Amino acid sequence: MIEKCQLAASEISALEVLNNSTISEAVTQMGSLKVTRMIVTDQSGMIIYDTQPDRIGTYGLFPEIVVAMRDRGNDVFSWWYHYRDGAMQSHAATPLLSYGNLIGCVYIMEHDTTQGAMIESLQRTVLQVTLILELAVILFSFTFSKTFSRRLQQIMTSMRIIRDGDYTHKVNMGGHDELTFLGDEFNDLTERLNTSEQKRQRFISDASHELKTPLASIKLLTDSILQNDMDLVTIREFVGDIGDEAERLNRITSKMLSLTKADIDIAADSEIIYMGPTLERVARMVSSLAQQSNIDIALNLEQDSPVLILEDDLYQIAFNLAENGIKYNVPNGKLSISLRRTDDNAILQITDTGVGIPEDAIGHIFERFFRVDKARSRASGGSGLGLAIVRAIVLRNRGDISVESVVGQGTTFTVSFPVFDTEVDPE
Ligand code: ADP
């Protein structure tokens, strides 16, 4: 289009005189330019040639002509699309120059219905594709939100089931997205709830069983006193027994309390201490009990090292183990309390020469209310809670506990804690 305009401009600017007839002649010589309209103006914008002759003599100040004449030498091209008749209209203007002077302007216009139709069909296709895409987006969002809310609903239902007490319930989300992750976390949580619920129930049933025994004894003893004619001595004996049972109830409940406390985090109150002095104190405290059965206590605290621990906890651990070592010992037996260290650990060992623990019982020894010989344990005031408490306290102080035993020979409890070596100042 712009080439056509330039061709016409170069032919016309070569004319000596610019008027309607000279330009008409030049246009005829150029042959068919196949344009809808062609206009030539003088330098003032007045039309001197027009394919629509009625406009000659008027000013043809079309935007393209104005710009082409203003910017001298610059060709101007523009097009727009007529929506109403589906045609594309393009315009081009080229200034006419003679020895560098502006003498007029050539303007041509094309009205192309073929290209217009093409653009129109392209537009229609784009519109159709856009509509289809929009529809797909709406459909996709709808399906997605439907699936999303269904899966969310699934989690909510599971929550309600758990809230109603069914801790075995599991949610099955499927897929590989955040909701699946949420479902896994949820299952993990309910699993833990289930475990702690089972522990709680076992504790309650164990505890009530343990409490029932002394209560039943008390009931029996009181019934006997009330129903039988007894002399004062027997009555006193029975009342003494009731007192013993009440004492046992007291011991069980206070041990249950300390077991609950053993679960509380104590990290903040821990301090770095040497274990020796505490173990000496424990040995002193159990010595009178040991004397009753003529048991010899040996202390070997040579390899003492600093550990991060709560002093009261260490006392309770050592006291319980030493007390058991005496309770389950044989007359004239031995109890040894020793300390040594490996590279990283301080090792406390409490060994006795007592009855020992049978192999099938050793795996249960740290369980609450577990007793190998119920009669013997009860006779010595045991509740089966001591070792469970010891283990809980050892663990909360970052330690470890193990047991080795040979029936008829004796038992060794080994407790280890990480050593906390403090920097030694060279001065
Ligand atoms: P109890 O209050 O009955 O002593 P513990 O939890 O301290 O409870 O101990 C549990 C059981 O482990 C005891 O009843 C006893 O049968 C056994 N036991 C613990 N320590 C020893 C030991 N040093 N030698 C033999 N048996 C032991």
Ligand 1 atom nearest to CA at 350: 23
- Residue 127 CB neighbour total at 10 angstroms: 10
Residue to mutate (ligand 1; options 258, 365, 411; most atoms within 8 A of CB):
365
Give the pLDDT confidence score for residue 426 in this predicted structure. Answer: 47
Q: Which residue has the higher pLDDT, 66 or 266?
A: 66
Average pLDDT rounded to a whole number, residues 222-251:
89
Task: Report how far ligand 1's centroid is from the alpha carbon of 384 (Å).
Answer: 7
- Give the tokens for residue 117: 């139709």
Cα distance between the two ends of the chain = 99
Ligand 1 near 282 CB (within 6 A): no
Selected residue with higher pLDDT from 237 and 205: 237
What residues form DSSP beta bridges with 350? 337, 413
Please tell me if the CB atom of residue 410 comes closer than 6 angstroms to any atom of ligand 1: no
> Among residues 317, 327, 394, 385, which one has the least CA distance to residue 355?
327
Q: What is the DSSP string of 335-380?
A: EEEEEEE-SSEEEEEEEE-SS---HHHHTTTTSTT--SSHHHHHHT
Distance from the Cα of residue 335 to its chain's centroid: 51
Mean pLDDT of all residues in 47-62: 88
Locate the ligand 1 atom nearest the alpha carbon of residue 320 and give its number: 7
CB 365 less than 6 A from any atom of ligand 1:
yes
Nearest protein Cα to ligand 1, atom 2: 382
Residue 282 pLDDT grade (very low, low, confident, very high; cuts 50, 70, 90): very high
368 Cα–ligand 1 center, Å: 11
pLDDT at 402: 97
> Does 75 sit in the ligand 1 pocket, CB within 6 Å?
no
Dump pLDDT digits (tens) for 40-53: 999 888 999 998 88
Whether 46 and 58 have beta carbons less than 8 Å apart is answered as yes
* Residue 132 pLDDT exceeds 70: yes
Q: How far is CA 39 from the centre of its chain?
A: 76
Q: What is the pLDDT of residues 380-389, one digit of tens each?
A: 667 788 898 8
Contacts (Cβ under 8 Å, ≥6 apart) of 413: 321, 324, 325, 349, 350, 351, 401, 402, 403
Least reliable range by pLDDT among 94-103, 130-139, 263-272:
263-272
303-335 pLDDT, tens digit per residue, is: 899 999 988 889 889 999 999 999 999 999 999
On the question of pLDDT at 425 being above 60, the answer is no
Average pLDDT of the chain, as a whole number? 87
Burial bucket for residue 120 (CB in 10 Å: 0-12, 13-18, 19+): middle
Cα(371) to centroid(ligand 1), Å: 6
Closest C-alpha to ligand 1, atom 16: 372
**What is the best residue among 297, 357, 367 to mutate for testing ligand 1's pocket, by most ligand atoms within 8 Å of CB?**
357
Q: What mean pLDDT do residues 62-67 have?
A: 87
pLDDT at res. 379: 66
| Range name among 50-64, 121-135, 329-343 with the lowest pLDDT average | 50-64
